[in-house]
Amino acid sequence: MSISAKSFALHAGLIAVLFALGFLLPTYHQGNLARIMVLATYAVGYNVLFGYTGLLSLGHAMFFAAGMYGLGLAMHLGGLPPIPAFIIGLIAAAALSTIVALLALRTIGVAFMIVTLMFSQAVFLTILYLGTYTGGDEGFVIAQSSRQILGYDLTHPLTRYMAALFVFSAALLITARMMQASFGQVLIGVRENEERTTMLGYDVFRHKLASVIISGTISGAAGATYALLFGYVGATFGSVQYSIFPLLWVLLGGAGTTIGPLVGAVFMFYLIDYSSGLTNAYMLIAGVVLVLLTLFARAGIVGEIRKRWVTWLP
């Protein structure tokens, strides 16, 4: 089998397994996995920029929040149905990522990380400042009756699971296809050696710009989906912690691998879920995992598997 056939089989198989799990899992884990798939979509978006283009952003929560508040406010205050509201969420995330990219891409390295962190912090503070509309710290709930698409009730556990699977699969397949195309190969070129990519005649800035916008828009789609499926919009999702999470998931699963974001999100979600039963200091686990990853497994779970055993992994 050729490599592209193998990776197609891997992705199709993964989606089939997730589909089957929707019917097999008990309700508690079914709900968890639905949430994980939405968060993994966020991680897939983050991976486009961090894993493939090599740009470390510390402010992706602003894109997640843009999608979330774009959809949430359109439904809550504007009274729009889910699909137009979802599109507004996507537009909000795409517009914000374009503005941020045009400014932040003038910097490199550490400055890029700090600039993204600062912009995200400004967005987070703006959400708090506009508390009259956004509900500030407490956020707001999207009415259960309005969360219906084409007659399907998104608050029903199985429907919600399938909707999450649909969004995750779309993000996974789009990015996997993108990375096989020449556009994705140029992004990897930028990550590996920016000067050489420039010298080969590629417009590095435009590729980076496109990468930030794609990454930000997928993150925004995840935020909008989260608000739609779980019915809650809150400022926490725009805080620094939610910029650190996708970094953590992608690093743990494997940066620059297609299935790494999902693997990382699953592991981290259950680690935190398990430890929050033991102590209220559950973020300790996140800290320890981050330090251990930097020290011993820079490639993450899927990355290490690819390095040692299965070299064809996409």
Partner 1 sequence: MDFGPHLLLAILEGAVGAAVLALTALGLSLVFGVMRVVNVAHGEFFMVGAVVAWFVADTVAGHPALGFTAALIIAPVVAGLIAVLVDKLVLKQVEYDPEATIVGTIGVLYILQQTALMTYGPEPRPVEAPFSTRIPLPWFEWGENGFAMFYPWGLSITSYKLFVICAAAAVLVAFWLIMSRTRYGLIMRATQLDRETALAFGIPVSRVYSIVFGIGAGLAALAAVLIVPIQQAYYLMGAEPLLLSFIVVIIGGLGSVRGTVVAALLIGMSDGIISVFLSPTLSKIIATLLVALVLVFRPQGLFGTKAA
Positions touching partner 1 (CB under 8 A) are 56, 58, 103-104, 106-107, 109-111, 113-115, 117-119, 121-122, 125-126, 128-129, 240, 244, 247, 251, 279-284, 286-295, 298
**C-alpha–C-alpha distance, residues 269 and 272, integer Å:** 5
**Cα separations (Å) of 166 from 37, 38, 84, 129, 177?**
9, 10, 18, 35, 16
* CB closer to partner 1 out of 144 and 193: 193
Q: Work out how close the CB of 269 gets to partner 1 at its nearest, in angstroms, rounded to a whole number.
A: 16
User: Using alpha carbons only, what angle is made at residue 260 by residues 8 and 118, rounded to the nearest 5 degrees?
Assistant: 130
Pair 229, 163: CB distance under 8 Å: yes
Q: Work out how close the CB of 177 gets to partner 1 at its nearest, in angstroms, rounded to a whole number.
A: 28
Q: Work out how close the CB of 289 gets to partner 1 at its nearest, in angstroms, rounded to a whole number.
A: 7
Sign of CA dihedral 195, 201, 206, 209: negative
* CB closer to partner 1 out of 180 and 239: 239
The dihedrals phi and psi of 190, each to the nearest 5 degrees, come to -60, -40
Pair 229, 38: CB distance under 8 Å: yes
Q: Work out how close the CB of 111 gets to partner 1 at its nearest, in angstroms, rounded to a whole number.
A: 5
Q: Any idea what DSSP says for residue 203?
A: -
Q: Work out how close the CB of 280 gets to partner 1 at its nearest, in angstroms, rounded to a whole number.
A: 7
* CB closer to partner 1 out of 36 and 115: 115
Q: Work out how close the CB of 131 gets to partner 1 at its nearest, in angstroms, rounded to a whole number.
A: 9
Q: Work out how close the CB of 102 gets to partner 1 at its nearest, in angstroms, rounded to a whole number.
A: 10
Q: Token digits for 172?
A: 């996974």
* CB closer to partner 1 out of 261 and 314: 261
The set of residues, in sequence order, having a beta carbon less than 8 Å from that of 296 and lying 6+ positions away, is none
* CB closer to partner 1 out of 191 and 306: 191
Q: Which residues pair with 143 in a beta bridge?
A: none
* CB closer to partner 1 out of 143 and 291: 291
Q: Which residues pair with 233 in a beta bridge?
A: 140
* CB closer to partner 1 out of 142 and 190: 190
End-to-end CA distance of the chain: 14
